[in-house]
Amino acid sequence: MKLSILCIALVVLGSYGLPGAADGELDVEYERQESLEIPGLTAGCHVCEWRPKLNQKPAAEQCGVNDAGEPIIGLFECGFSQDCERVCNLLSCGEG
């Protein structure tokens, strides 16, 4: 209820201006920010959570290559660290 009244008051003030403020008395500069975070509420609070998913991808460094010279496919557990960096851990190598 209080939030509704506040929103209505802000709309009215935005439409009619502040009482007693003549044109040009208020010099307000606005700076546009390209962010989805609301300062004070979400700024600096985002932390990624480790939720691994299984992925198959070429793993030449860990598993080597087959007779044709193609990388052997490995099974990886991939997710995001708390710093939101993608991390993949090798679980097993496929057959070459």
How would DSSP label each residue in 39-90? TTTTTTT-------EEEEEE-HHHH-B-TTSPBPEEEEEEEE-TTS-EEEEE
Q: Look at residue 73 and tell me if it is in a domain.
A: yes
Tens-place pLDDT, residues 3-28? 556 556 666 655 555 555 555 555 66
**Does pTM top 0.75 for this prediction?**
no
Q: Look at residue 81 and tell me if it is in a domain.
A: yes
Tens-place pLDDT, residues 41-68? 555 666 788 999 999 999 999 999 999 9
Strands 86-93 vs 53-58: parallel, antiparallel or unpaired: unpaired
Domain extent for 93: 49-96
Q: Look at residue 86 and tell me if it is in a domain.
A: yes
Q: Look at residue 9 and tell me if it is in a domain.
A: no
Q: Look at residue 58 and tell me if it is in a domain.
A: yes
Q: Look at residue 39 and tell me if it is in a domain.
A: no
Domain count of the fold of the chain = 1
Q: Look at residue 4 and tell me if it is in a domain.
A: no
Q: Look at residue 11 and tell me if it is in a domain.
A: no
